Amino acid sequence: MMRKRSAMVFYVAAAVTTGLIGCTSNQSSDPHFQAAQSLPSHTQASFAEYINQTQQWLETNRIFMSADKQSELNQILPREYRPAEPNGQGVLLVHGLGDSPYSFVDVATHLAEQGYLVRTVLLPGHGSKVGDLQLPSLDEWQSVVAHHTELLKQEVDSVWLGGYSTGANLATSQAITDNEIGGLLLFSPAFEPGSSLVGFADIASYFVTWADQDKEDNPLRYNSLPMNAAAVYYQTSEVVRNQLQEANYQKPVFMLMSEGDKVINTKFAIDTFSQHMPNPSNMIVWQGEEGISDPRSTRFSMKLPEQRISNGSHMGLLFSPTNPNYGIGGRNIICDNGQTAANETSCAGGEQIWYSAWGYSEAGKYHARLTYNPYFDQSMAIMDKVMAQPL
């Protein structure tokens, strides 16, 4: 029997498929699942002040998973990446649901090496403990992106926005309403969820507190999911879909997605790219076996047996193979991957591991989540070309 879906693996669909049926737990005495009294401020007058006050709040409210508290904070705090040779442009990057600014450590480092001033933000409810995701609203997440877009504009001549999954929705919404934005960098954009049931998460949040509760053992991202967070994610998707139906986005767009991704509706994202993002310099990088008809696309096969990779995943786009946590031989191996409990135990027990998207299975193989991009350098080179076009 398949183990129930881990929320942060297949985060939003699980919220409703387990929650509306009534198969989720209620409040828990575990401190990970308790909410703070309030969320930290994000409207400071400078980015440096924002980082400082966010750190102070996290020092009080975060549940640390190791004795090295400073190391944990350094990885999940908002961060600025200053280029050695500035090109006059900036990039604001927005992480996904349940994640942290660490999601963009490799992409941001690359962008700074190209001359961009890069900043990452921490969406309210993240970085402390998963119980705090019971608190944020759509307005708060939108406000973070809007405020820090304006702060970055004060430092550079032009600003790009980028986002992963839910963060891609927030970045796209901001760019559509702000004509000064230079363009978009979208990683696994969650414009439409992989399951239509997610649309009921808002209603379910009135009756069910938790979509999923798992052991919290990853200092970089949450494993569990409150129903409120699933509902707010869905609101971000509704907003961006409505915006894109009303007007095309004319500025340059770089999009990176995986064919194996079942968290989002990849077909909808491709159709959106083809129908509503007409800039000729746009590029979509597609990791999979079946090609895309849009000529503004590049495909990379994810059948890579020499690396024990079966297919690409939702989260495996952002990290370099050399990333110490999620790259080849990295510290964070995610065996909770939608396979049988026996296979998961074998994966965690040190059997030879293959890597895939959530929910993929193959006889005789134990699959952990693919957490890195085997084509990271090639993907970044294509992104650079999109960003090099005249604004």
Cα–Cα distance, 346 to 342 (Å, whole number): 6
**Short-list 249, 248, 265, CA closest to 257:** 265
pLDDT tens digit at each of 391 positions of the chain:
333 333 333 444 444 443 333 334 445 688 999 999 999 999 999 999 999 999 999 999 999 999 999 999 999 999 999 999 999 999 999 999 999 999 999 999 999 999 999 999 999 999 999 999 999 999 999 999 999 999 999 999 999 999 999 999 999 999 999 999 999 999 999 999 988 888 888 888 788 888 889 899 999 999 999 999 999 999 999 999 999 999 899 999 999 999 999 899 999 999 999 999 999 999 999 999 999 999 999 999 999 999 999 999 999 999 999 999 999 999 999 998 888 888 888 888 878 899 999 989 898 899 999 999 999 999 999 999 999 987 6
138-146's contacts with Cβ under 8 Å and 24+ in sequence apart are: 138/232, 138/235, 138/236, 138/239, 140/39, 140/42, 141/170, 141/232, 141/236, 142/170, 142/173, 142/174, 143/42, 143/43, 144/42, 144/94, 145/92, 145/94, 145/121, 145/170, 145/171, 145/173, 145/174, 146/174
Quote the pLDDT of residue 199.
80
Q: Phi and psi of 328, rounded to 5°?
A: -60, 125
Beta bridge pairs of residue 258: 287
Q: What is the largest CA-CA distance in the chain?
A: 56
Cα–Cα distance, 68 to 60 (Å, whole number): 15
**Short-list 295, 91, 294, CA closest to 187:** 91
Residue 231 to residues 16, 204, 225, 360, Cα–Cα distance (Å):
10, 8, 11, 26
Quote the pLDDT of residue 390.
73
Quote the pLDDT of residue 10.
41
Q: Where are the domains positioned within the chain?
A: 11-303+375-387
Quote the pLDDT of residue 28.
64
Pairing of strands 158-164, 181-187: parallel
Residue reference for tokens 């991957």? 337
Q: Contact, 213 vs 224, CB < 8 A?
A: yes
Q: Which CATH architecture has domain 11-303+375-387?
A: 3-Layer(aba) Sandwich (3.40)
Residue reference for tokens 């600003």? 159
Quote the pLDDT of residue 357.
95
- Count the neighbouring beta carbons within 10 Å of the beta carbon of residue 46: 11
